[in-house]
Chains A and B, each alone.
Chain A
Amino acid sequence: MTETRRLRRRAAAYPPLLAAIHDPPAELYLRGSGGDEILSSPTVAIVGARACSSYGRSVARSLARETAAAGVAVVSGMARGIDGEAHRGALDAGGVTVAVLGCGVDRDYPAAHADLALRICEQGLVVSEYEPGVEPAPWRFPARNRIIAGLCRATVIVEARERSGALITADFALEEGREVLAVPGEITSALSDGTNALLRLGATPVTSAGDILELFDLAPLPPKPASLGETAQALLERLRDGALTADELVRVAGLDPAQASAALMELELASRVTLEDGVYRASV
């Protein structure tokens, strides 16, 4: 584990966006190989619920990947669900991600994300206003959320129920005059009630990474080289109409299963689709 260092509010490297909130942390503890300047570089928060759908996970991962690929660091809370996928998406792109914790940076919370924390530390940062040794506690998470929102020009909520803790981050962002964006969800899904409600109140809809990147006057990286095989391309088109299992794809596309396997593997390795619990989804 790399050493923990401290960043005081008066230090030159203390991120200006965070200093501007109405009660910025007096100190930040940092762990990881990323430099302090990451906190002052273009950043966006990508957050959401712990209990989320496959759709939410897939979208969080894709959005984070494209955002990080374009050079914008992804900030999140390293929680299960949406946060974890946001960090992983940024790592997929070989980009920078920052995890803000509601406990000391020497604690991996949740424990299942210990490996993820290590990977984040390779190029990014794990950050907290709590000193090393402080245990996670439910009442520390809202306070942590203000730092996530405070570090960034914009906060993207990917998926959240009506009373989800993730909405607290959106509230902080609004209070501090930052942009709030939300990903639309199926109106029949309770898991998207919070995000859909944000949209109704005027949050900017996100239907692609471009919607996030244009806040930074950036465009997503040019579309992947069209070096996808014909079968792969055809399957990708089918998946854009909706998620399907491999068997369903083979039936619907009328393909030879062996051909379909090869094409799906091609799509997976090129990050054009995600596979979860046997279900394929086109990446955003």
Chain B
Amino acid sequence: MLEALRQPLEDGVVAVARVGGHALFPARFQLIGTMNMCPCGARGDPAVECGCTSQRLAAYREKLSRALLDRFDLAVAMPRPRAAELAGSPGEGSSAVRDRVARARERLQATLPRRTEAASELLSSAVDRLPLSGRGRVRVARVARTIAALAGATEVEPAHVAEALSYRIPSELPR
């Protein structure tokens, strides 16, 4: 079922072919998924030790192919909230966020900000060191551009690339 999402994610259509003919269904959507890092759910929490055997862990992670994972633009780690966090303030309001997004989209539609030399160097060293696949690199570059636009910057700076890199798909999956 998950793998069936690959085509619409990439092409924005679902193609169905039968003996009598074929059809293309428009399928543009935004996919948001959640998962634990392991079946017992402990991984990702520094305070708890994971009890999964390596076979169980591998079987769990192999459910997601690298090809499907590579189609996600952002991966955000959501640690277990602590009591203090749950009791804290709600944070920025949705309308403020929406305005910021709308302004950023306008900027991007007008001109695409270019990377500074330092930002490109950072991206290159990350590709080698982390490591990052070719597709991963392209996505990080695009996300960095969006971050720059959201920040109202005219160029994509190293800080924007660094933030984009922090949203990359973790290399542990699907290992």
By a beta-carbon cutoff of 8 Å, the part of chain A in contact with chain B is 50-51, 53, 80-81, 112, 189, 191, 242-248, 251, 257-259, 261-266, 268-269, 276-279
- Which residues, 97 to 140 on B, are CB-close (under 8 Å) to A? 122, 125-126, 129-130
B166 and A242 contact, CB distance less than 8 A: no
Give the contacting residue for B44; candidates A80, A258, A277; CB below 8 A.
A277
Task: Tell me the complex Cα distance, A261–B58, Å.
Answer: 29
| From A112, A244, A269, residue with most partner B Cβ within 10 Å | A269
For this complex, 15 residue pairs linking A to B, each with C-beta atoms less than 8 Å apart, are: A51-B54, A242-B46, A243-B46, A245-B44, A245-B79, A247-B77, A247-B79, A248-B79, A258-B147, A258-B151, A262-B159, A264-B166, A277-B44, A278-B79, A279-B46
**Minimal beta-carbon separation of A268 from chain B (angstroms):** 8
**Is the C-beta of B92 less than 8 angstroms from some C-beta in chain A?**
no
| Residue interface mask B141-175, A partner, CB < 8 A = 1 | 00000010001000000110011011000101001
Give the contacting residue for B49; candidates A53, A246, A257; CB below 8 A.
A53
Task: Tell me the complex Cα distance, A265–B166, Å.
Answer: 7
12 extra interface residue pairs, beta carbon distance < 8 Å, beyond A50-B54, A277-B38: A51-B53, A243-B46, A245-B45, A245-B77, A258-B147, A258-B151, A265-B162, A276-B172, A277-B43, A277-B170, A278-B44, A279-B45
- Which residues, 5 to 64 on B, are CB-close (under 8 Å) to A? 37-38, 43-46, 49, 53-54, 58
Task: Tell me the complex Cα distance, A279–B125, Å.
Answer: 21
A244 and B46 contact, CB distance less than 8 A: yes
Q: Are A262 and B77 also in contact (CB < 8 A) when A51-B54, A278-B37 are?
A: no
Q: Which residue of B lies closest to A191 (CB)?
A: B49
**Minimal beta-carbon separation of A51 from chain B (angstroms):** 6
| From A112, A257, A259, A276, residue with most partner B Cβ within 10 Å | A276
| B interface residues, tally (CB under 8 Å) | 30
Query: B residues within 8 A CB of A243?
Result: 46
Query: A residues within 8 A CB of B159?
Result: 258-259, 261-262
Task: Tell me the complex Cα distance, A261–B164, Å.
Answer: 9
**Minimal beta-carbon separation of B97 from chain A (angstroms):** 14
**Minimal beta-carbon separation of B16 from chain A (angstroms):** 37
Query: A residues within 8 A CB of B122?
Result: 265, 269
Query: A residues within 8 A CB of B163?
Result: 257-258, 261-262
By a beta-carbon cutoff of 8 Å, the part of chain B in contact with chain A is 37-38, 43-46, 49, 53-54, 58, 77-79, 85, 122, 125-126, 129-130, 147, 151, 158-159, 162-163, 165-166, 170, 172, 175
Task: Tell me the complex Cα distance, A265–B46, Å.
Answer: 19
Q: Are A245 and B162 also in contact (CB < 8 A) when A80-B54, A269-B125, A278-B170 are?
A: no
Give the contacting residue for B166; candidates A50, A112, A261; CB below 8 A.
A261
Query: B residues within 8 A CB of A242?
Result: 46
Question: 10 tightest CB-CB pairs across the interface, nearest first?
Answer: A278-B77, A262-B162, A265-B162, A261-B163, A261-B166, A277-B43, A243-B46, A245-B79, A278-B44, A262-B159
Task: Tell me the complex Cα distance, A283–B44, Å.
Answer: 18
Q: Are A246 and B166 also in contact (CB < 8 A) when A189-B49, A259-B159, A277-B37 are?
A: yes
Task: Tell me the complex Cα distance, A209–B31, Å.
Answer: 45
Task: Tell me the complex Cα distance, A50–B58, Å.
Answer: 13
B126 and A265 contact, CB distance less than 8 A: yes
Give the contacting residue for A245; candidates B46, B53, B58, B125; CB below 8 A.
B46
Task: Tell me the complex Cα distance, A146–B58, Å.
Answer: 29
Task: Tell me the complex Cα distance, A80–B54, Å.
Answer: 9
B170 and A112 contact, CB distance less than 8 A: no
